[in-house]
Structure 1
């Protein structure tokens, strides 16, 4: 493997550009080639990675030399078909943005890719790598004595504008509980070390996007939800999502409780959205609250300002790339597998179904 890892980037919208900025911070990586069909986004990507060669198709990008790995950051509904083209033509180590797929009918195609793919495939679940959440995961067993209840609350801003408004419609995004929340279902499985057996949900579109029209269509994407999942281990988990609560001090609040006590991770939203008149943005925290002796213990987990400037995910995109880059060079193992990505989306689809039908959905 060369001293510098050459990335080919497929899709350079908002998240793709965050990847570009974070790859630029790695000492042994560069963006060699970009495929972005939208002219505006292609121009923005070129400004971030001026030495990258721009291509007008995935087919052309796959012929670029040198190329050591690929990143898919295109709209959700394109992921599986692009993975198929890569697998058939040039199966390099691959980082695929979440969600891995959007429809149940894609699972068989996805599994076929995974069976035959000769190189590592890593699913981009950035929330795993946020420093406060990493600390939470490291300490959760010690703090709780074994998690029996897990709650993830995300109170945040509405969906941002994306190219072609694809994130306004379930048919392109997979639905809010897939598009947005597969991150949290992945965290549930990771923290609880178990898989869900039943899912219940109540969700809908209460406030956002109701006055928007695209080709005479009103967006059908949900903006709020409660999801409860029961796990094979006996633990219960709940997701509390609200996408019209951007006035919150913390965007994500994760709480785990067990027989010994409670642990919380408090994660602020993107620093660029914090009102400047309120002073410095809040610092992430982890709080451990033992049952005996009583007394919460709070630790601040600051994130390098350079990493905060490079993206909206508390430095996690950078730390994820450090690990993926090592795998490309033959060091380390894939930490978020195709199976992890599949199961996270399966939970999201089950939650969408449970909320739509008003019924409990069984996963086993």
Structure 2
């Protein structure tokens, strides 16, 4: 079965998806909906065989289309899914976050109860080769994880069409927009749901001198988040978005009674300083308590995949797994429930940081982002 994608949204992330779909066997982009002229022109270069339409209705009217990708700005994801559901509910890969405001959770539940085809929420970080290696070996290396730490030290938010990613009201806030990936990883790695979130964060450095249509950005650039899980495990996120000089962008460590496993993931190669030579290679390090001594393994990624995107090859591997689900050869690995939990955790963390109080998931009443 050949996959003929209909693509909604071809900004920076959408174009990464186009480049990776082009590498898939038996798949191509058939139709694209992208309202911005500059992004349309770039999308046409990445997917020269695609036709362009102006509405979701026109896209869904193309009979050849048998699966969808939604990669529009955050605030449109849920409404576009609802439109698809009402017209022609095809299998869909929808970019994170699934929604941006607390009051939208009811709409997600309603959608889940009626949508007859697979909906896969794009959580690329699960599929980064070094992260996938850590996930696969974590239980054996640790004897059961009790502490999980995720650190991302990276560059500021990039400039996007209409500067939509500069404002909490359009993104859900940094701990939703950026960090839902990491909250998803926490639940996935620990195989447990969160019970309590405590956070501190804010805007210290980035975008303070910018003005967009009379507004100064309010998007946060750093945070600490601590999460308690039902299993008794604890997890922590450390985010800094003014640390682009770092050698590794993501560092994850998992520790249990018998040892520690960690992975180190470099950022996009296009941002690595040329005068330093070749970009670093991802690593996985296992450090048992007995016998003591770390064991390091490099996890190289196909250069073609690194060239196709900014996520260490993960976008390609995610599409491979999604394509199996569409063809009926595999499960939906990142469900609507997973996507919903990731946003709920981000919203709870934002609320905790704003109020200075821990948020209990059993009793929480989340406030919408500002």
Q: Is the pair's TM-score, using the shorter chain for normalization, greater than 0.5?
A: yes
Aligned pairs for 1:191-270 (under 5 A) are 191-270=189-268
User: Structure 1, unaligned stretches of length 5 or more?
Assistant: none
Aligned pairs for 1:34-113 (under 5 A) are 34-113=32-111
**Offset at residue 10 of structure 1 (A):** 0.2
Equivalenced residues, count: 362
**Offset at residue 322 of structure 1 (A):** 0.4
**Offset at residue 329 of structure 1 (A):** 1.1
**Offset at residue 65 of structure 1 (A):** 2.2
- Identify the residue that residue 29 of structure 2 maps to in structure 1: 31
Q: Which runs of 4+ in 1 moved over 6 A?
A: none
- Identify the residue that residue 8 of structure 1 maps to in structure 2: 6
TM-score (norm 1): 0.99
Local SS of the residue matching 1:313: coil
Local SS of the residue matching 2:25: coil
Local SS of the residue matching 2:226: strand
Local SS of the residue matching 2:103: helix
**Offset at residue 288 of structure 1 (A):** 0.3
- Identify the residue that residue 290 of structure 2 maps to in structure 1: 292
1-structure distance, mates of 2:276, 2:107: 49
2-structure distance, mates of 1:115, 1:17: 31
User: Structure 2, unaligned stretches of length 5 or more?
Assistant: 363-370
Residue deviations 1:137-182 (CA, integer Å, cap 9, x gap)? 0010011000010000000000000111010000000000000000
1-structure distance, mates of 2:179, 2:286: 25
Local SS of the residue matching 1:238: strand
Residue deviations 1:186-207 (CA, integer Å, cap 9, x gap)? 0000111111111000000000
- Alpha carbons 1:144, 1:260 under 8 Å: kept: yes
Aligned pairs for 1:58-207 (under 5 A) are 58-207=56-205
1-structure distance, mates of 2:2, 2:146: 45
**Offset at residue 59 of structure 1 (A):** 1.6
Residue deviations 1:263-288 (CA, integer Å, cap 9, x gap)? 10100000110011101100000000
- Alpha carbons 1:37, 1:57 under 8 Å: kept: no
Q: Does 1:277 align with 2:281?
A: no
2-structure distance, mates of 1:143, 1:51: 47
- Identify the residue that residue 319 of structure 1 maps to in structure 2: 317
1-structure distance, mates of 2:303, 2:68: 27
TM-score (norm 2): 0.97
1-structure distance, mates of 2:144, 2:240: 28
Local SS of the residue matching 1:102: coil
